[in-house]
A and B are shown apart, each in its own frame.
Chain A
Amino acid sequence: MRKAFGVLKAVDGIDFELKQGEFLTVFGPNGAGKTTLIKILSGLTQPTSGAAKVAGFDVTEGNPEMRKEIGVISHSTALYADLTPLENLMFFARMHGLSQPEDHALKVIDEVGLSQRRNDRVRTFSRGMLQRLSIARAILHDPKILFLDEPFTGLDLHASNVLKEYLKRLHDRQRTIVMTTHDISCGLEMCNKVALQVRGKFAFLENIEDVDRDQFESLYFDAVRDNQFVMGIGAN
């Protein structure tokens, strides 16, 4: 699978398979193409060449049925700031065609621990609360597959732990998860498979049991340092 923006190759020949219930963490320096990979897999953008199937659907066909099977958490929360959590989630429940949207919304709000704030405007929420609500939006329709793009960014320790626990519960429920992150300890702790994406390619893809943590960290930091050199950051 490839995706180019002009001369820039954001995804340059990535090839992998993930079975149901597996958890893939993709590490990589900034600009490696991790977000573009997530966008392709979730159907938000089309690959330039190659193919990808998610839940049996070809992502290039733009079939709305595929979107019933996936949930996405991204850098942006995709939440309307002037609506309350209940209003936001009722809206998305209606867009997903769920019967009794209010019941579904209340259920997931409770699951992410935001019941007491369900009638407050989202604009007043902290980063951690926004991330939890974003998770609620992503799991509202009980998707089989979750794509998480750097979900720990901006979260404090408590919020990170809450998120980790929640992702573990989802994984225990046999949800397939693809997560990109810079947080090595979080990422390695939760996954079955590890990938390192560098300049659009997977430089590393292994099952977690076959990964030597120290070796992987060394590889990751080399990739980050090389990337900074290429980008001219800190270069003499």
Chain B
Amino acid sequence: MNLYLNQIAAIVWKDFVTELKTRELLSAMFIFALLVILIFIFSINLSIVKASEVGPGILWVAFLFAGTIGLNRSFMLEKENGCLMGLMLVPADRTAIYFGKLISNLIFLSIMELFILPLFMIFFNIDLLEHLGSLLVVVFLGTLGFCALGTLLSSLSSNLKTREIMLPILLYPLLIPIVIGVVRMTGQLLEGVPLLNMMKWIGLTASFDIIYIGVSIMTIDHILEE
């Protein structure tokens, strides 16, 4: 068990060191998310439309589209120079590779989201601090599901020539249940509904998170094999 956890930690460490040196991933995701928010803010007349009604959808569009860039890059790093082959040759369970990449993706996306949330608050003039704790729970649940499924599908699509197109085509339809859940929860939070009154949506989102992680554990062996 110790070795398993050390292997996961090693993969996360490796991804972090790479990102520290290249700074490609976080900057690309942040700028893309910011761009999405800016485009929407300039196209919506907030004197007519309530920010708390359109804001949640825009926020999650920004997160998911920017996150897709991160996911694409995640396994591309392993495909370069045949590094995935190197990972397949170590005495590691394939799920350790999956969880290592999942945790890396989750951390990078969360960092991007933590930078985007204050900007979203400023541009849309919505006070997020009032509901910050609950909002972070919702963002975590959504991001976890996105990363769980996205890590699996990015490993699948990394073998394809049309990987940049295939990942969103495969990922977005399967994410619908989670997206519906987190957008609804975010909207209700901004209207002052306590998180405890949304157990139905929390249950739905968490269930799908667990399902995606479970399916990934069962299939990652076959996906990574050449």
Contact = CB atoms under 8 A, between A and B. Distances in A.
Interface of A: 39, 42-46, 62, 64-68, 70-72, 74-83, 87, 91-92, 94-97, 121, 137
A77 B82 CA distance: 6
A79 B89 CA distance: 13
B81 A96 contact: no
A78 B7 contact: no
Given A78-B81, A79-B81, 8 more contacts: A42-B89, A43-B89, A68-B91, A75-B82, A80-B14, A80-B80, A87-B14, A97-B91
B18 A83 contact: yes
Contacts of A92: 86, 90
A71 B86 CA distance: 10
B14 A91 contact: yes
B81 A97 contact: no
A95 B82 contact: no
B92 A95 contact: yes
A76 B77 contact: no
Interface residues of B, number: 29
Contacts of B6: 94, 97
B89 A94 contact: no
Interface centre among B21, B86, B93 (most CB of A within 10 A): B86
A75 B86 CA distance: 12
Contacts of B88: 43-44
B205 to A, nearest CB: 33
B3 interface: yes
Classify the secondary structure of A's interface with B: loop
B83 A79 contact: yes
Given A67-B91, A78-B89, A91 B80 contact: no
Nearest to B90: A95
Contacts of B210: none
A97 B21 CA distance: 25
A95 B7 contact: yes
Contacts of A45: 225-226
Contact of A64 (B21, B81, B91): B91
A91 B85 CA distance: 14
B121 interface: no
A94 B22 CA distance: 22
Interface string B6-45: 1101110110011001100000000000000000000000
B226 A39 contact: yes
Nearest to B9: A94
18 contacts: A39-B226, A44-B225, A46-B225, A65-B91, A66-B91, A72-B89, A74-B85, A76-B82, A77-B81, A80-B14, A83-B21, A87-B14, A91-B14, A94-B7, A94-B13, A95-B10, A97-B7, A137-B86
A91 B13 contact: yes
Contacts of A81: 80-81
Nearest to A94: B10
B87 interface: yes
Interface string B88-114: 111111000000000000000000000
Contacts of A97: 3, 6-7, 91
